[in-house]
Amino acid sequence: MQERKRGSYAKSAEVRRGIVEACMSTFGESGFHGASMAEIARRAEVSHTGLLHHFPRKEDLLSAVLQLQDERSAEVLEAYTKSGLQGDPILMLRGMVVSLDTRVRLVGLTELAAVLTAEASNPAHPAHEHFRDRYATIRRFMTRIFQELANRGELDSRTPPAILAATTIAVLEGLQTQWLYDRDGVDVDGAISEYLAGIIPRFGTSEAITVREGQK
C-alpha cells in the first residue's frame, strides 16, 4: 500500500510539472491575462477538471511558474556558492549574471519573463509584488558587490554602486530582449561581460575569463 501511495505521489508530481511547463509556454505567448485555462490543459494533455484539481485558479499556476523560475536561478547561484569562490566579489557578480542569463539558455523562460515583467508593472497584476521584490533583492545583492569592489579599489567608475546595480540589470535584460529578436546576432553573455570589464578591469583579465569559462 505504501509503494502504491509513493507511485501516486510521483505521478501527481509529474502531472503538475507538465502543467507548469505547458503554462510557461502559454503565458510566454499570450501573457497572463490572455492565456486560457482550457489552452493550458490542452497543451499539458490533461482534462480541464484535472487541471483544476492541481491548480484551481490561474493565479495558482502563475505562482508555480514564478517559483520554477526562482528555483532555476537559485540552482545556478548555489553552484557558485559550492565552488568555494564566493569570497571574490567579481566571481559572485559573475554568478549573479549567469543566473540572470540562464533564461537565454531556456527560451521559454526568456519569452515568459519579457511578457510578465511588462504586464506585472501594473500594481493590480497578481505577479506585481513578486517582480517588485525580486528586482529589489537583485539590486541589493549587486549593490553590495559593487560597493565591495569600490572598497577594494577595483571599481573603475564614479557612478554610485546602487546606480551601477540598477544599470547592470537594465543592460542585461535589454540584451535578453534584443536576443529574442535576433538570436544569432546578439551574444548576451559576451556583451554583458564586455560591459562589466569596462568598469571592473579585473573582470576582463585572463584569470577571471578562465574561471568564468570553466563554470559555464
Instruction: Confirm whether 191 is domain-assigned.
Output: yes
Based on the fold, state whether residues 112 and 161 are members of the same structural domain: yes
CA distance readout (Å), 167 to 67, 152, 164, 170, 209:
25, 21, 5, 5, 22
Instruction: Confirm whether 7 is domain-assigned.
Output: yes
Instruction: Confirm whether 62 is domain-assigned.
Output: no
DSSP 183: T
Based on the fold, state whether residues 20 and 96 are members of the same structural domain: no
Based on the fold, state whether residues 35 and 92 are members of the same structural domain: no
Based on the fold, state whether residues 84 and 138 are members of the same structural domain: yes
SS (H, E, C) 113-170: HHHHHHHCCCCCCCCHHHHHHHHHHHHHHHHHHHHHHHHCCCCCCCCCHHHHHHHHHH
Q: Which regions of the chain are under pLDDT 50?
A: 2, 5, 84-85, 206-216
- Helix, strand, coil in percent for the chain, rounding step 5: 80, 0, 20
Task: Note the pLDDT of residue 83.
Answer: 54
Based on the fold, state whether residues 104 and 149 are members of the same structural domain: yes
Based on the fold, state whether residues 82 and 44 are members of the same structural domain: no
Q: Determine the Cα–Cα distance for residues 183 and 198; give it in Å rounded to an integer.
A: 24
Task: Note the pLDDT of residue 106.
Answer: 60
Instruction: Confirm whether 61 is domain-assigned.
Output: no
Number of domains in the chain: 2
How many helices (DSSP H) and strands (DSSP E) are in the chain? Answer: 10, 0
CATH number (domain holding residue 135): 1.10.357.10
pTM for the model: 0.70
> Of 13, 32, 56, which one is at a domain's C-terminal end?
56
pLDDT (tens digit per residue) in 122-179:
999 888 998 898 899 889 988 988 999 999 999 999 999 999 999 999 998 899 889 8
Q: How many CA atoms lie within 13 A of 45 on its CB side?
A: 4
Based on the fold, state whether residues 48 and 73 are members of the same structural domain: no
Instruction: Confirm whether 136 is domain-assigned.
Output: yes
Grid-cell match 485558479, residue found: 57
CA distance readout (Å), 176 to 49, 66, 97, 100, 130:
37, 18, 12, 10, 20
CATH number (domain holding residue 11): 1.10.10.60
Which residue range forms the structural domain that includes residue 48? 1-56
Based on the fold, state whether residues 21 and 72 are members of the same structural domain: no
Q: Which amino acid belongs to residue 189?
A: D
Based on the fold, state whether residues 97 and 160 are members of the same structural domain: yes
Give the helix ranges, DSSP H, for 55-106.
58-82, 89-105
Based on the fold, state whether residues 38 and 121 are members of the same structural domain: no
Do residues 153 and 201 make contact, with C-beta atoms less than 8 angstroms apart? Answer: no
Based on the fold, state whether residues 125 and 77 are members of the same structural domain: yes
Give the CA dihedral 210, 104, 121, 60, nearest 10 degrees.
-120
> Of 37, 56, 75, which one is at a domain's C-terminal end?
56
Instruction: Confirm whether 135 is domain-assigned.
Output: yes
Instruction: Confirm whether 71 is domain-assigned.
Output: yes
Based on the fold, state whether residues 47 and 83 are members of the same structural domain: no
Do residues 131 and 70 make contact, with C-beta atoms less than 8 angstroms apart? Answer: no
The residues, ordered by sequence, that sit 6+ positions from 168 with a Cβ below 8 Å of its Cβ are: 97, 142, 192, 195, 196
> Of 27, 56, 85, which one is at a domain's C-terminal end?
56
